[in-house]
Structure formats: structure tokens, C-alpha cells
């Protein structure tokens, strides 16, 4: 039994020396309410055109990428605006809920500077 423990320890030491454990941080983001499948397709196409331009460095590829980027940004802005307008209309009579929801949707985190 001691021989097995010693072999395990020696193998473990070698592995730790040559292949150490790496810690990775994973960022989890909440999905936005205005993200839909049609805008996901536009985003995918934008990234595809961008990578094509990065490879070729062609002016036509750059123009295609710019057009798709602008189209995607306009659509995203419109969807986000509609979503915020709907939220404001829905919470018209409750200013506290309206304020907190607006802050959440515009990524303006409210932090209390005072200690608890």
C-alpha cells in the first residue's frame, strides 16, 4: 500500500511540475431581453465578414463588413429602444419599479456609497 502511495505522489509531483493546474475565470452575462434570433444571425454575419476582412484586407470586404456592422448596430439600437419604451409604458404608474428596471436595462448599476 505504501508503494502505491509513493508512486502516486511521484507521478503527481511530475505532473504538477510539467502540467500545472490552471485556474480560469468564466464570465457569465445575463441575456438581454431584446436579443432575438434575427439579431443573432446579423451578429454572426457581421463577425464572419469581419474575419474575412481581417484575412484578405480587401477594401470590398471592409465595405461589406462596415455595412453589416452598421445594419446590426441600428437594429440593436431599435430593439433596445422598443424594449425600454415597453418597460416604461408597462410600469407607468410605479416610478420605483420603472427606475430600477431602467437602470438595469441601461447597465447603470446603482451602488450605495454609504457603508451598511
Indicate whether 15 belongs to any domain.
Answer: no
Model confidence at 88, in pLDDT bands (50, 70, 90)? confident
**Which residues span the domain enclosing 97?**
39-106
DSSP 52-71: HHHHH--HHHHHHHHHHHHH
Angle at 16 between CA 14 and CA 19, to 5 degrees: 95
Indicate whether 32 belongs to any domain.
Answer: no
Indicate whether 12 belongs to any domain.
Answer: no
Q: Which residue, 32, 39, 33, is CA-closest to 75?
A: 39
Q: How many domains does the chain have?
A: 1
Indicate whether 20 belongs to any domain.
Answer: no
pLDDT at 66: 97
pLDDT tens digits, residue range 15-53? Answer: 888 888 888 898 887 777 777 787 889 999 999 999 999
Indicate whether 63 belongs to any domain.
Answer: yes
Amino acid at each position: 500500500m505504501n508503494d502505491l502511495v509513493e508512486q502516486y505522489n511521484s507521478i503527481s509531483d511530475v505532473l504538477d511540475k510539467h502540467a500545472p493546474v490552471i485556474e480560469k475565470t468564466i464570465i457569465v452575462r445575463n441575456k438581454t431581453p431584446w436579443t432575438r434570433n434575427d439579431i443573432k444571425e446579423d451578429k454572426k454575419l457581421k463577425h464572419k465578414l469581419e474575419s474575412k476582412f481581417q484575412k484578405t484586407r480587401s477594401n470590398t470586404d471592409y465595405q461589406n463588413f462596415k455595412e453589416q456592422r452598421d445594419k446590426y448596430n441600428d437594429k440593436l439600437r431599435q430593439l433596445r429602444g422598443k424594449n425600454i419604451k415597453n418597460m416604461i409604458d408597462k410600469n407607468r404608474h410605479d416610478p420605483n419599479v420603472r427606475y430600477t428596471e431602467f437602470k438595469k436595462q441601461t447597465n447603470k448599476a446603482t451602488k450605495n456609497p454609504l457603508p451598511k
